[in-house]
Structure 1
Amino acid sequence: MTMLYQNERGGAEAAAPPDVDRLYIQAVDQLGPALARLAVGYEANPIERQDLLQDIHLQVWRSLTSFDERCSLRTWVYRVAHNVAADHIGRARRLKGMIGLDHPAAEIAADPNPSPETEVSDRLALARIHAMLHRLQPIDRQVMILYLEEEDAATIAEVSGLSAGAVATRISRIKRVLAGQVVLEAVR
């Protein structure tokens, strides 16, 4: 007789074979504390961290149905855990950038009359961005300038001769490098 459990969408799925349960228990025995530390490294908020850890455990258990021992159980579990954590961070970043309907309009709108200090700060920030852009390789500089001009990846691809996917990848990587430089400058 096959046991059933309810999946996330409310449907029924066959229960995992006993071998998966044995592997999961083995993985948790070996790596449980490491998975908890991994969750701490990815998520500062204790409630979100607990959700992340729970999601890691669920995905590890689910993934073990396709574990074929081409790598060690340890490697497999870490790959799954890091992928889940990276997805978690990606979702959090996307959600963080969104503006909810419960925000007052004053928080959303730009200040129409910035103070002189704000104007100077904005000019200095823009000068730093330009200096960073000038240190980029020519193709990267071209891509980022077009990106800052709010061109889409297809247009940038057409202009630069790169594929749209390559443009999107370059933009993501360059933004990370530039953000790292901003952090380093702030520390100095």
Structure 2
Amino acid sequence: MNKRRVKPEHERREEIINAAYAVIYEVGLSNTTIAQIAKKAQLSTGIVSHYFGDKQGLIHSCMRQMLKVLAETTASYKAQVAQPSPEYLLKAIIDANFDISQVNNTAMRVWLDFWSASMHLPDLGRLQRINDQRLYSNLKFHFLQLMPKSQASQAAKGLAALIDGLWLRGSLSGHQAFDRDLARSIAYDYVDMQLRLIQQIRQEQQNE
């Protein structure tokens, strides 16, 4: 007689979090319950509560997991850059934010619900601020290698806003497929524009 394998805690937690994503996609964050998540994961509500406590604890863990995936995806894209210049590393960050892990239907619905909830739930709000600051800091770090501090700060804020805006417009497009290539191209053009601008300024300064 085969005994049912007892799964390690990290596997069980991953199963529950994935079930939570699926339920949020189906019914929305506000309508999601522990019972629905447990049913989706084919577990008892007691087991779900054992790992995450209440709904708020589970949702907090879900958002932390999404931030972890985004950070790991960004690190992976940057590691693949053959010529690790600031320009290409900036574009790697763009690629990561429009990776399929961030723009599939489930991820977009979950991110949207988390963004909305972060305005009312302090824990989610804190995680969202961490996410915003991480993107801005990473962009500014690479822009600083190309231009003065004041310009680097402005360029980083602009690119972060552009990435978020393109992602948001794509997520609200309804049944239309998100055009990742177009989004990347627009964000790439912004980086190229900033590089041309700083080159022009330097050329003018040399001619004075």
TM-score of the superposed pair, with normalisation by structure 1: 0.29
Larger radius of gyration: 1
**Which structure has greater helix proportion?**
2
With CA pairs under 8 Å and 6+ residues apart, which has the higher RCO, 1 or 2? 2
TM-score of the superposed pair, with normalisation by structure 2: 0.27
